[in-house]
Amino acid sequence: MAERIDRLAAGQLVLTGGDRALRVSAELADAFEAGDQLLVSGDTLLHVPASEARIAADAVATAADAFSQLAQCSDDDITLFFHSFASALTSSSVVDEVLAANGADVADAQQRGRSTTRLELTSKMINDMVAGLQMWGAIDMRRDETVDVITHDGWGIEVRRAPVGVVGFVFEGRPNVFADAAGVLRTGNTAVLRIGSDALRTAQALMEHAVGPALATAGLPASSIVLVASRAHAAGWALFSDRRLALAVARGSGPAVDQLGSIARAAGTPASLHGTGGAWMIIPGDAETSRVEPIVAASLDRKVCNTLNVCCVLRSIADEMVPAVIRAAATAATSRGATAIVRGDVEAISHIESLNLEGLIRCEPLPDEGLSHEYEWENNPEFAVVLVDSVEEAISLCNEHSPHFVVSVLTDDAEIIEQVYSLADAPFVGNGFTRWVDGQYALGQPELGLSNWQGGRLLGRGGVLSGSSVHTLRLLARFADPTIHR
């Protein structure tokens, strides 16, 4: 019989696999108290204080209660919630409250030397949130919709859509994700959200002045969306270790997302992970500079997961196309009042340095990770250029080094496009700018996250996880003939 651990000893071994164990450090042993939890993620032992575990457990419990109550609400009630939430974000008094909280978050983050690029809530972000919520309000989807009917002699089966339960989210300090995460209500699920600590004040203001009132106006359970009110990473770990979650969704940096995913999987909870990004681009032999320049520039407008990260240029057209790529990077940098940083090997750098674009472009060698590195930049666009002998070589490099995410090939040649689509191991393939990969922009459905195929291909859905994706199927059999038997 398993026993509860109420203390740890320095040097104690903790079994993490069939033939692997980790040793407890002195610091962990000193900090661990009765009631705390010890979680394992890869080669790391994670300490969850009892207070953080309670915060997460209470949040899941209230969301689970709300899930049962939500089944008694109508789809029209859920529609009203989305419209009410959107309406609240058009109210000057509500927006003033949220922006004041966001200003405090930004100031605090700046004081601590933290990035505020994604933290600052702008008018555009608020407008995008409103547009996303209005999309959810207008979408023609019902929780109990029949998606298929199978007819047999004397009986039949209806295949009907159904919610999955409580969805747990841990995401970076981007306040606009609230509107995306709310989408799980469309299919009858409830949500527990743990936002990055930098944005906690903003999230609390959104809950108090927009989400809560919208739930009340619609007559939905008050705990249909719950915010985990903690700045500690341990609260997120505790949330993802809760077996009552139907789905665990993590967004953020690659290592943090991987860690959360391993916690969820250890608890037996399905995980949808949205971490490592970076788009790849292939410039084939028939490419034209008039096409390449605007596409590259548009793919470097800001740093998010679908931003251009590696550009493969055919060596046979390097004299013409490398300058086109660099001019585009300079355009993207100039629009930000910045300098573009272009990485490459000796051959690629020699092409770039011959352009004499000092002040607009800075050349640097590839990092130690080579083409596998994802560039994280705030203001200065940064990406790599590599020369290849063929499209096939570019695809091979992509499959070996990329996060298996976004691939763009700059051509109108249908055969080349199909070749890349067939051979590149990525969920998103196109022949234009890479930043099209976005649920709201491309599919008219706000996304909960974008998945790569780095950890294996996905079952049953594409790389875009949206609220409409979060459902299961139930079967209802109807018998007209009572004498049927097997």
Give the domain ranges of the chain.
13-50, 52-274, 279-439
d(CA 217, CA 204): 19
- pLDDT above 70 covers a percentage of the chain that reads 98
User: Which residue type, as a one-letter code, is found at position 441?
Assistant: Y
- Range ranked top by mean pLDDT from 108-117, 448-457, 463-472: 108-117
> Taking the domain 52-274, which CATH number applies?
3.40.605.10
Listed in sequence order, the DSSP H helices in 299-345 are 318-334
d(CA 380, CA 363): 12
CA dihedral 232, 275, 259, 52 (to 10 degrees): 20
d(CA 13, CA 372): 34
> CB atoms < 10 A from the CB of 87, how many?
18
What pLDDT does 440 receive? 85
User: Which residue type, as a one-letter code, is found at position 179?
Assistant: A
Give every CB contact of residue 39 below 8 A, 6+ residues apart in sequence: 45, 46, 48, 237, 241, 263, 266
461 has pLDDT over 70:
no
**φ, ψ at 428 (rounded to 5°):** -120, 115
Helix axes 123-138, 75-88, angle to 10 degrees: 160
Domain 279-439 is found in CATH 3.40.309.10: yes
**pTM for the full predicted model:** 0.89
User: Mean pLDDT across the stretch 214-229?
Assistant: 97
pLDDT tens across 143-158, in order?
A: 888 999 999 999 999 9
d(CA 342, CA 366): 9
pLDDT tens across 314-329, in order?
A: 999 999 999 999 999 9
